[in-house]
Each structure stands twice: as structure tokens, then as C-alpha cells.
Amino acid sequence: MQVLYEDNHIIAVVKPAGVLSQGDKTGDISIFDEIKKYLKEKYKKPGNVFLGLVHRLDRPVSGIMLFAKTSKGASRLSEQFRNREVKKMYHAIVCGNPGKNKGLLTHHVIKDEKLKKARKSEKGEEANLYYEVIKSNGKYSLLKIKIDTGKFHQIRSQLSFAGFPILGDIKYKGEEWEGDKAIALRAAHITFKAATEERMVNLTIDVPEEWQRYIK
């Protein structure tokens, strides 16, 4: 497990693609479980270890996740997420070329509970996605992405609605690739405020090595 940052209240790790954010009915191991084990062993805690889940990444998505080590950390982080003070940036490889170097995608999106996917609907709330093309070879493009809100499958669905779905995201019409249980979407940067200090923390991870062959 890759730990990017840790203080008394907050820990930031890189969740691998294919790993659950939190345990579910499958019983598969989650990054939540791995962090609890790490904290228990590192600090030699005899009983149950507190760990607060304050946001999630979809199972096939990789990238930076924040967890709270204390109730104070959970409260402060949750407040930052609620007030949209946590700033995130994603990288994605999409099929095709958006046509413009920069753009804003706006859709009204709702969650289809039956199909477990997002779809366009006038009844849905407005979702905005900002993208910038970092590199493109025509067939595939590497994008930098920012969103204002965290709607269900927002990035995955909006890119698909716009005609350039994420590589590997079969659910949203993306092409198959070699990424096992993964799609080419990564939470690559996050900025947040430390729980008990007036200090901003900036964390960034690189584009995965295995993506490079698609954007040469």
C-alpha cells in the first residue's frame, strides 16, 4: 500500500484500480481494510482502530484517497468536502479526440438504480466537467479533468455522453483494454486543509506507466 501523507488526524493513500474503497457484500478486501491493518500494526493498537471514510472512488478507478484517523479529522474533512473546499484533479485516457484543447461539459444526470449507471435526464441535477487535452494521437487522448460536484459516475458518464468514453469503461461504451478490473481514470491530485492547522496539503501522483503505450 502506498501512503502519500500521514499526520495525527489524516492519512492519504493511493487506491489501486480494482480495489474497493470500502468493504461490500462481495467480501473482497478493500483499501479501508488495508489501512486499518496498517495503522494497527504501525502503532501496535490492541483493540479496534478508528478510521473514517469521507469520500469514495469507484472500484475500477485508481488514485488518491483521504481517510480520517480521528473523529476530529473525520469532522474537519467531511466539512471541507461538503463546502467543496477540497480540490481534486483527475487524469483519464479517452477514446478519440475531443476536438478542442479545452472544454466544459454540462449535462443533467440522474442515477439509474436498476442499471446501476448514470443517465441523462431533464429531472437530474446539473453536472459540470472541465477538461484539458494534455496529449492526443487521434485514437486516444490523455485529459486533465476537474469537476465541481461528485455525482454518481459523473466523469465516466459525462465523457461518454460527449462521445469520448474512458478507455476500458465498457459500462459507458469505452473500448476494452488490458487493464484488469480497471478503467483509465485516476484521481491524480488533491488539495485540502490540515485538520488542526492553517496549512494546505497538496498531493500529486503521476500518470501510470501502463497508460503510456496508448498515448505515444
Nearest to 168 by CA among 155, 159, 179: 179
Which of 33, 58, 148, 180 does the annotation list as catalytic? Answer: 58
Could you confirm whether 148 is annotated as catalytic?
no
DSSP string, 85-140: -SEEEEEEEEES--SSSEEEEEEEEEEETTTTEEEE-TTSEEEEEEEEEEEE-SSE
Catalytic residue ranges: 58
